[in-house]
A and B are shown apart, each in its own frame.
Chain A
Amino acid sequence: MAKALRTEALLDFLRAVQQDARRLVAPVEEDGLRLFRAVDRVEEITLAEGNTRWSFKEVLFPRSEALFHYRLSGGSVALQEPDQPEGETVVFGARPCDAAGLAVLDAVFAPNGRPDPDQAPEHEDPFYRRRRAQTTIIGLACLEPGPACFCTAVGLSPTGTAGSDLLLTPLPDQGVFLAEAVTEKGERLLAAHAHLFTDTDDTKEQATRAAEGRIQRTALSGVGGPLATLFEAPPWEELAARCLGCGACAFVCPTCHCFDIVDEGNAAGGSRCKFWDSCGFALFTAHTSGHNPRATQPARFRQRVLHKFRYLPERFGVQGCVGCGRCIATCPVNMDIQEVVAKVTG
């Protein structure tokens, strides 16, 4: 039987969760933007509808992190492990699209934990793996998807459970959040705070229908299929003529996971840093020789589209785009991936 949490008891629940974990990360308002931040007081959390400016992926895959530190002295190198101070973390307010995006990060960074180990390459990112194990995701279903949203177009739902450990769906008419434990972590959360939850017969069906009905964008049919033959075919030049070549789309995306590694330091020592990179940058594929296999911006934009809709499904069996619409909303020139895929496959 489903569980219900009274709307007014939400902050009590989050406060209790915060006491158990080292860190609670949730959407807050900052300088007019909504962002995921580690919160001190649960009252700071905003429950406003719509998406944060970028996803919570940096909780697991920080925009910048040190792989190790080094000191140089007298011809020798001393290495030092970096701190990973985050510890047990609970993310609250992950939208179903963002939570579904974890499948991509898991496939790339923690493939051995995936159900089909035959498909998994051996490499693992221990930093990601550790954070992933220490993180619990409390999803918050969307009742009012925005104009850029298209999760339903890629087969997801504003009230979908994928990726969440516990999903809360607001049922305003009943004055409750419907709580669904999706994983063992979610079960444990429910059990630990059982006194706040009651049994209920309510379902999220109506909320789901209403929320899905708000998404205006057309379904992307047969993605993966047609795109497999469209490397040269569609007019990428025309579609991407206005693309400026920044990395905003990649950095706000819940599934983009490319990174660069550099040594930052001076003659005495420094750190080997791993940080976000974007296929939108010309430098991303530039060779030392000066040759660049993706020489033009349209070629780079094509990579972004095909990586999401063809290469990730082919290679890892995961869906590369979760339809959160952030890249559409933040792009300075409104490059619209849903529009483009609909056009080239339609």
Chain B
Amino acid sequence: MMSDTFEPKIVAFVCNWCTYTGADLAGTSRMQYPANVRIIKLPCTGRISPLFIMKALEQGADGVLVSGCHPGDCHYTAGNYHARRKYTIFREMLHFLGVEPERLFFSWVSAAEGRKWADLVAEVTDTVRRLGPRRSAWGEPVEGIAAPRLSANPVPFEAPAGTFAAQAEAMREKAKALLAGGEVGTVIGYEQGTLPGTARPAFVSTPEEVDRLVWNEHCHQNLAVYAARKPAKPGKVALVVKPCDERSLVGLLQENRLAREDVVLIGMACHGVQSEGALAPRCAACQTRTPALADPVIGEATPPTATADPRLEQIARIEQMAPAERWNFWQGHFSRCLKCYACRAACSLCTCERCLAEKAQPRWIPAPPDGAGNLSWHAVRAWHLAGRCVDCGACSAACPADIPLYLLNLKLAQVVKDAFDYEAGRDPAAAPPLTTYREDDAQEFIR
């Protein structure tokens, strides 16, 4: 049905104790406010998962409002503090993906603030009405807007001569000693791949097999992905790790996926790895070149020559795009997604026994590999890694469609760093940012 006047559909997720009661008060006080808002009541903002917001957008909401108790007033003590942290990250992610920030609203409305609720709904409705309908369906490109392309300048790969050979020799010696002494049953390292200029994960369980193991600039996979899996052979596992891989071990320790004594880490000082004949972009300015947790650290690394991370430039360019361009940039990349889930499979921190993408009731992520399903998948994947991703690059390297997933993960890592002064994979004793809160966490975006 076509209509001259656009009546926005706004979904409001509100908490039972404050905002819903406030809305009730507005009603019983006969305050007038627009009827565009569909209210969904939940026990607490702490229960209002960002997935709800995404589902509302997927199902065609023109705007979403989330509201709950003021800080300090939560019926469950701290649900709203946790929620505040989640929304801080999630709304930045949606903006980065090209959802117009003006369509998302967060507020605290107490049970006594019937007037505030009525005014808020009027303002939200007015704002969204002025914006007009969403310019495209969830996961579909905005028509008539070219999807901008990003290019990167490759940084040449350099490592001091002889570095790899000496490290490889020392690594093999250590691996042999671990197996011969019975300290471990399996060493997971790298061996030469079957294509030129490649290496691949290798599982060895006898000292004789160790000679297969290699160490060079092609050893890009993060072997921590195997850390929490049950090895086929009895005994402990030793992993050959780069400093970035080791950071995912920190995450696994924090999340109790394994204990430090379950695994032996053969740490390799690192000069970066190769990607398409050049230095992998994440390695260009990487300052973490020496493993911190590993049992032996093999070799020494010199500091990087580049000072700026070339990927930050790409993020800045995305942020300069108008929302519709940004949206189309991502839809362009996501349209190639085959839903092979290589990003998930290669991620050492995707440790859920059953992924949200595999659950049908409720189905948060449309299953088919098309517009809506692909966008929801990548949004959820990035969201679940917010504050956890250690930037090892495994997801992007695994993607057969070359989707620059690292940009999304890195952006969220920046948000987490800026908002909560937290970096994932640094300190096994630190509380992950979404498991904790501060009463004075910033909340400029909440009205």
Residues of A within 8 A of B (CB): 30-33, 35, 53-54, 63-64, 147-148, 237-238, 241-242, 244-248, 250-252, 260, 262, 264, 266, 273, 275-276, 278, 281, 283, 328-330, 332-334, 336, 338-339
- Report 26 cross-chain contacts, Cβ distance below 8 Å, ordered by A residue: A31-B336, A31-B402, A32-B402, A53-B401, A54-B338, A63-B368, A64-B370, A147-B195, A148-B194, A237-B232, A242-B203, A247-B339, A250-B340, A251-B338, A251-B339, A252-B400, A262-B367, A262-B368, A266-B59, A275-B367, A275-B368, A281-B341, A332-B345, A332-B346, A332-B397, A336-B194
Query: Interface residue tally of chain B, by bracket?
Result: 35 or more
What residues of chain A lie closer than 8 Å to B202, measured between beta carbons?
242
Query: B2 contacts the other chain (Cβ, under 8 Å)?
Result: no
What residues of chain B lie closer than 8 Å to A248, measured between beta carbons?
338, 340, 342, 398, 400
Q: Mark B191-209, 1 if CB is under 8 A from A, else 0.
A: 0011110101111000000
* Contact present for B394 and A332 (CB under 8 Å): yes
Q: Mark B325-351, 1 if CB is under 8 A from A, else 0.
A: 000000011001011111011100000
Q: In this complex, which of A238, A242, A244, A283 has the most chain B Cβ atoms within 10 angstroms of its Cβ?
A: A244
Q: Which residue of A lies closest to B276 (CB)?
A: A32
Q: Which residue of A lies closest to B195 (CB)?
A: A147
**How far apart sit A168 and B394, CA to CA, in the bound complex (Å)?**
39
What residues of chain B lie closer than 8 Å to A242, measured between beta carbons?
200-203, 226
Instruction: Tell me the minimal C-beta distance from A149 to chain B in angstroms.
Output: 11
Decide: A33 near B232, CB < 8 A? Known: A328-B195, A333-B201.
Answer: no
Q: Which residue of B lies closest to A278 (CB)?
A: B340
Interface residue from A35, A238, A246, A329 paired with B340 (Cβ < 8 Å)? A246
**How far apart sit A300 and B338, CA to CA, in the bound complex (Å)?**
19
Q: Which residue of B lies closest to A266 (CB)?
A: B59
Query: B369 contacts the other chain (Cβ, under 8 Å)?
Result: yes
Interface residue from A53, A246, A328, A329 paired with B342 (Cβ < 8 Å)? A246
What residues of chain B lie closer than 8 Å to A247, measured between beta carbons?
338-342
Instruction: Tell me the minimal C-beta distance from A150 to chain B in angstroms.
Output: 10
Instruction: Tell me the minimal C-beta distance from B112 to chain A in angstroms.
Output: 35
What residues of chain B lie closer than 8 Å to A250, measured between beta carbons?
340
Instruction: Tell me the minimal C-beta distance from B25 to chain A in angstroms.
Output: 30
Query: B16 contacts the other chain (Cβ, under 8 Å)?
Result: no
* Contact present for B341 and A246 (CB under 8 Å): yes
Q: Which residue of A lies closest to B205 (CB)?
A: A238
What residues of chain A lie closer than 8 Å to B429, measured between beta carbons?
none
**How far apart sit A275 and B202, CA to CA, in the bound complex (Å)?**
33
What residues of chain A lie closer than 8 Å to B401, measured between beta carbons?
33, 53
Query: B300 contacts the other chain (Cβ, under 8 Å)?
Result: no
Interface residue from B149, B195, B221, B363 paired with A332 (Cβ < 8 Å)? B221
Interface residue from B203, B333, B346, B368 paired with A273 (Cβ < 8 Å)? B368
What residues of chain B lie closer than 8 Å to A31, measured between beta carbons?
149, 332-333, 336, 402
Q: Which residue of B lies closest to A35 (CB)?
A: B336
Q: In this complex, which of B341, B358, B397 has the most chain A Cβ atoms within 10 angstroms of its Cβ?
A: B341
Instruction: Tell me the minimal C-beta distance from B218 to chain A in angstroms.
Output: 10
**How far apart sit A330 and B394, CA to CA, in the bound complex (Å)?**
13
Query: B225 contacts the other chain (Cβ, under 8 Å)?
Result: yes
Query: B161 contacts the other chain (Cβ, under 8 Å)?
Result: no
Instruction: Tell me the minimal C-beta distance from A260 to chain B in angstroms.
Output: 7
- Known contacts A242-B203, A246-B344; 17 additional CB pairs below 8 A are A53-B400, A63-B339, A148-B195, A237-B232, A241-B203, A246-B342, A246-B345, A246-B398, A247-B340, A248-B338, A248-B400, A260-B367, A273-B368, A275-B370, A283-B358, A333-B201, A334-B194
Q: Which residue of A lies closest to B194 (CB)?
A: A336
* Contact present for A264 and B367 (CB under 8 Å): yes
* Contact present for B221 and A33 (CB under 8 Å): no
What residues of chain B lie closer than 8 Å to A278, measured between beta carbons?
340
Instruction: Tell me the minimal C-beta distance from B89 to chain A in angstroms.
Output: 26
Q: Which residue of B lies closest to A241 (CB)?
A: B203
Q: In this complex, which of B332, B339, B345, B358 has the most chain A Cβ atoms within 10 angstroms of its Cβ?
A: B345
**How far apart sit A334 and B195, CA to CA, in the bound complex (Å)?**
8
What residues of chain B lie closer than 8 Å to A251, measured between beta carbons?
338-340, 400
B residues 50-77 in Cβ contact with A at 8 Å: 59
Q: Mark B143-156, 1 if CB is under 8 A from A, else 0.
A: 00000010000000
Decide: A147 near B221, CB < 8 A? Known: A246-B340, A247-B342, A262-B367.
Answer: no
Query: B1 contacts the other chain (Cβ, under 8 Å)?
Result: no
Interface residue from B221, B332, B336, B402 paired with A333 (Cβ < 8 Å)? B221
**How far apart sit A275 and B368, CA to CA, in the bound complex (Å)?**
6
What residues of chain B lie closer than 8 Å to A241, measured between beta carbons?
203, 232
